[in-house]
Structure 1
Amino acid sequence: MVYDVAVVGSGFSAIAETVNLLRLLPPSASIAVVGDDPGFGRGTAYRTELHVHRLNVPAARMSIFADQPDDFVVWLRDQKRGVPPDGFASRDDFGRYLRDRLALLLRNRDTRPTLHFIKAKATACDQCTVGRVAFQLDNGTNLEAANVVLCLGVGNAELPVDPAGVKGILRERIVSNPWRLGWLSHVEPSQTVCILGSGLTMVDQVLALRAHGHRGRIHVLSRRGLASHPHLTRKVVPVVPELPSSREISMILAALRRQVRTGADWRGVMDGLRPLTQGLWQELSHAQKSRFLRHALAWWNIHRHRLAPDVFKRLEALLGDGTVTVRKGFLQTIEEDERQLAFAFRPRGGVGGIRMRADWIINCTGMERAGIAHSPLLRQMLEDGLISADKLGLGICVSRNAQVLDRDGSTQPGLFAVGALTAGQFWEITAVPDIRVQARNVAVAISEYLPGVADI
């Protein structure tokens, strides 16, 4: 069987694409969803069952449907969750919402396309021509589709240093992927934990440790030592940013800072900038994008990706009483030291090194830079020239309508990508409000190739 569309992946991007295809394609169409994650659609972020893990976007902006922005708020109300539109729901609730909305669409068998879930990983692409993309799956079968949407996300960044000399039980206490939550149950209440990275993942893991009864010290080490700012408890009105005509990144940032210094709420300016971000990013030269990533990214992240107010209060209390300490510096080594892990780091702006000890080291340094290494399929497609890597290390190259570009920069007919893999083109493409629009646009583009599609 040759499917009309194959969605490759099982995280949020995959479910966003799937629900849009179910809504837009005719009953005669066929869809295959290929992924090996039993919690389809919940991905890493929304499979957690800890209530302390909150969304960092208000509920009113978290609908999976771009044309029904209040849908998640309606679901929360129907479930009697007590979260207002400007409140911050738990990630577990959002995962349940995604499951329920997919189930609702699947019930309409007579009016929706055929949908098959294939529990497997796509490991290689055998053919990529007009009207036919063929994949090998790790269950020994093959899959063919006229259109394919890659929703593979990006992997976790590797540890900054290689702990090759650490063996045995101490090696097991170096957690490369903190979202494999089994490690939490092995942490003793009084043990010392070192977390590498100070972003949102660090906050999640600190709260998870406390929820599991941990009461020991937590050292946080990152290059800049910056943690995310909070959302306000009151609603913030977006402010139209006063952007200069120049597309020099230093002049853009200077203009935004000047606007804030003269009285504009910086949160309002950031929120006002959001609808413009993708277009602004696409206007920047490669050199200007590179400058932004080198010098401004850390500050962008802590202002743009803010914490729910109650989450920030919990973190602030732990910082205030010294349970959590944040240091800025560069990790140099991880070694064994009797029954503990010893790590050395060089303070930012300093000389020499500082040596400390911990019982656990947790890698929360974020996403892998290239965005491809985690996937055997993407590595093979890159080697064969079917895709090309973004020059800034932000996933793969795609056109402005999310069509995949090959080694020569040509679009691959019928081959699309959605989500974090496309950050090189769209930059602001990791949050639900952006992905849902992209997923719908791709579904519309695919629908135009298929016969029998009703007017949308």
Structure 2
Amino acid sequence: MTLLSSRSSNSKSQDADHLARIAIVGRGFTGIMTAIALFKRVDRPFHLVMFDPRAKIDIGEGISQPASTVLTSRVRDLSVDPELPDDFRRWLETDDTWRDRLISDPAGLEHAFVPGEIFSTYVYKRFAEALADRPDVIVQFGSDTVTAIDRHLDGGYSVFLGAEQRTRFDAVFLATGYGMRENSDTAPAGGAQSAVVIGGGIHAVDRALGLLADAKISHVTLISESGFLPQSHAPAAVGAIVTDQPMPGTLRGAFRFLREAAGKADLEGSGWQGIMNGFRSRARDLWAGLTPEERARFKRHVKAIYDSHRNRLPPEHYQRLHHAIASGAIAVRKGKVNCIATNGVLFSGPAGLEVLPADLTIDCRFRPSGTDSPLVRSLIVAGLATRDELEIGIVVDECGRTKASALHGLFAMGPLGLGSLPDIDLVPQIVVQSHAAASLLNSWIGDVAKSAARRQSL
């Protein structure tokens, strides 16, 4: 386990026994962002352990696949500091490595879409700076796989590493996509000319366009279960347009309201994106007021349409996608994949069951964490968490707390809370949530530190 701190090793060992212990499970963007927020918001010393079986800190992987893919959020929306919304843009303007690779007009830089590798460099630099400002904090990187979490007899939580080993922590942040998304490739050893990409979201489109750009794949079949694909960002960034009219409190009424407002905006030439941004800013209140029946109806009939309009492609990528579709390089099929084999997939479409042959198959589907992840299942069995009604994550509050009315110190950050908090899988929302969670933790971590000192003295 790698340990980072500016103090001597002897003082580290002695101090760690008296410090509040915090675990972050996952070192993608959400995990690194949570650590940055803890460094900035928690004003007492603490001992932080960041678990991830991957050998290196890979921020870009938490944003887009692969890391060199252009991100789907604009520069203006990618600051890691909610109090400095232009921090990323200012860093780009002053960094010699990246400045010349981007557009030359600083006035237009906030509208740009940048490669994931650039954003990864920025996030890691801010992480290193925030850590350097906290010589009173001990940080360790563990390569162990966290298999389960349960309550500890002395308070706090037991984090299980493998079948037997377990470690006690006062607070745990789940910042992981364990089981939530898997990009699995099945390809013959001799190479491939045709491919099937399963999924209708941004990651699936990324992979399909990337395969064609490599010039090794001549044709891609893109399978979208709903038939919907991501829409395009506006040519220039637009803010949230919120009308003065009250939004209906029912699912049917709310989306009729959205369609009418977006249609009017299109006729006026302002585009639907600003209307959608305004709708998203009110989506959490709407979701909280829906009945269980309406939430189930949203999952069945509306979610795919909603996701295709909130998760958008940069205009250039949207044009590339539809040019590839028009030219026949990408064929879009609506239906469900029943089975993946080495030479293709078994596919259920409007015409019934059929086999789609392919040399290469890539699965980019979003997988429900509640059923696919042993870690999440352990939380549910222990009564520490509840699956959301969409069955894609854990019920959380705005700060990411699970079972917020009964528990302290257990958080499910970012995409794990997507079924409770619309848009919590996007960078700006993850940044705000991380800082809110760290501020909340700071309000009671003093009591945790006192308890740790009492346990040590016994």
Q: Normalised by the size of structure 2, how large is the TM-score?
A: 0.83
Correspondence for 2:174: 150
Aligned residues of 1:39 and 1:47 also touching (Cα < 8 A)? no
What is the correspondence of 1:261-410 to structure 2 with a 5 Å cutoff? 261-263=263-265, 265-332=271-338, 340-341=343-344, 343-347=346-350, 351-365=351-365, 367-369=366-368, 371-405=369-403, 410=405
Asked whether 1:100 is paired with 2:125, we answer yes
Secondary structure of 1:239's match? coil
Aligned residues of 2:265 and 2:275 also touching (Cα < 8 A)? no
Q: Relative to 1, partners in 2 of residues 1:380 and 1:321: Cα closer, same or farther, differing over 3 Å?
A: same
Q: Relative to 1, partners in 2 of residues 1:106 and 1:87: Cα closer, same or farther, differing over 3 Å?
A: same
Deviation string, structure 1 residues 17-60 (Cα, Å, up to 9, x no partner):
10010112235222222222233251634475664x11111111
Shift of the alpha carbon at 1:215? 3.7
**Aligned-partner Cα distance in 2 for 1:294–1:9:** 31
Correspondence for 2:194: 192
Secondary structure of 2:91's match? helix
Shift of the alpha carbon at 1:228? 1.1
Shift of the alpha carbon at 1:184? 7.8
Shift of the alpha carbon at 1:91? 1.2
Shift of the alpha carbon at 1:244? 4.5
What is the correspondence of 1:56-71 to structure 2 with a 5 Å cutoff? 56-71=72-87
Shift of the alpha carbon at 1:185? 10
Aligned residues of 1:26 and 1:452 also touching (Cα < 8 A)? no
Deviation string, structure 1 residues 268-322 (Cα, Å, up to 9, x no partner):
1011223222222222222222211111111111111110112122212211211
**Aligned-partner Cα distance in 1 for 2:158–2:335:** 47
Secondary structure of 1:63's match? coil
Q: Match of 1:306, as an amino acid?
A: R
Secondary structure of 2:293's match? helix
Asked whether 1:239 is paired with 2:241, we answer yes
Query: After alignment, is 371-380 or 54-63 more displaced?
Result: 371-380
Q: Match of 2:168, as an amino acid?
A: E
Q: Relative to 1, partners in 2 of residues 1:449 and 1:187: Cα closer, same or farther, differing over 3 Å?
A: farther
What is the correspondence of 1:24-35 to structure 2 with a 5 Å cutoff? 24-26=41-43, 28-35=45-52
Correspondence for 1:160: none
Shift of the alpha carbon at 1:434? 0.5
Q: Match of 1:38, as an amino acid?
A: A
Aligned pair count reads: 418
Shift of the alpha carbon at 1:6? 1.8
Identity rate, percent: 26
- Give 5+ residue unaligned stretches, structure 1: 158-176
Q: Match of 1:152, as an amino acid?
A: T
Correspondence for 1:82: 102
Correspondence for 1:170: none
Q: Relative to 1, partners in 2 of residues 1:262 and 1:24: Cα closer, same or farther, differing over 3 Å?
A: closer
Correspondence for 1:448: 443
Deviation string, structure 1 residues 414-439 (Cα, Å, up to 9, x no partner):
22221111123212210010011111
Shift of the alpha carbon at 1:109? 4.5
Deviation string, structure 1 residues 209-231 (Cα, Å, up to 9, x no partner):
13433242111222232211111
Correspondence for 1:125: 149
Q: Match of 2:367, as an amino acid?
A: E
Shift of the alpha carbon at 1:94? 1.3
Correspondence for 2:425: 430
Secondary structure of 2:320's match? helix
Q: Normalised by the size of structure 1, how large is the TM-score?
A: 0.83
Shift of the alpha carbon at 1:385? 2.1
Q: Relative to 1, partners in 2 of residues 1:138 and 1:241: Cα closer, same or farther, differing over 3 Å?
A: farther
Aligned residues of 1:397 and 1:424 also touching (Cα < 8 A)? yes
Equivalent in 254, 257, 269 of residue 256 of structure 2: 254
Equivalent in 63, 66, 73 of residue 89 of structure 2: 73
Asked whether 1:22 is paired with 2:22, we answer no
Asked whether 1:6 is paired with 2:36, we answer no
Runs of 4+ in 1 over 6 A off after TM superposition: none
Question: Going by fraction, where is helix more abundant, 1 or 2?
Answer: 2
Correspondence for 2:455: none
**Aligned-partner Cα distance in 2 for 1:129–1:437:** 33
Deviation string, structure 1 residues 111-138 (Cα, Å, up to 9, x no partner):
x522222222222335346842222223
**Aligned-partner Cα distance in 1 for 2:247–2:347:** 46
- Give 5+ residue unaligned stretches, structure 2: 1-16, 104-108, 449-458
Q: Match of 1:436, as an amino acid?
A: V
Shift of the alpha carbon at 1:63? 1.0
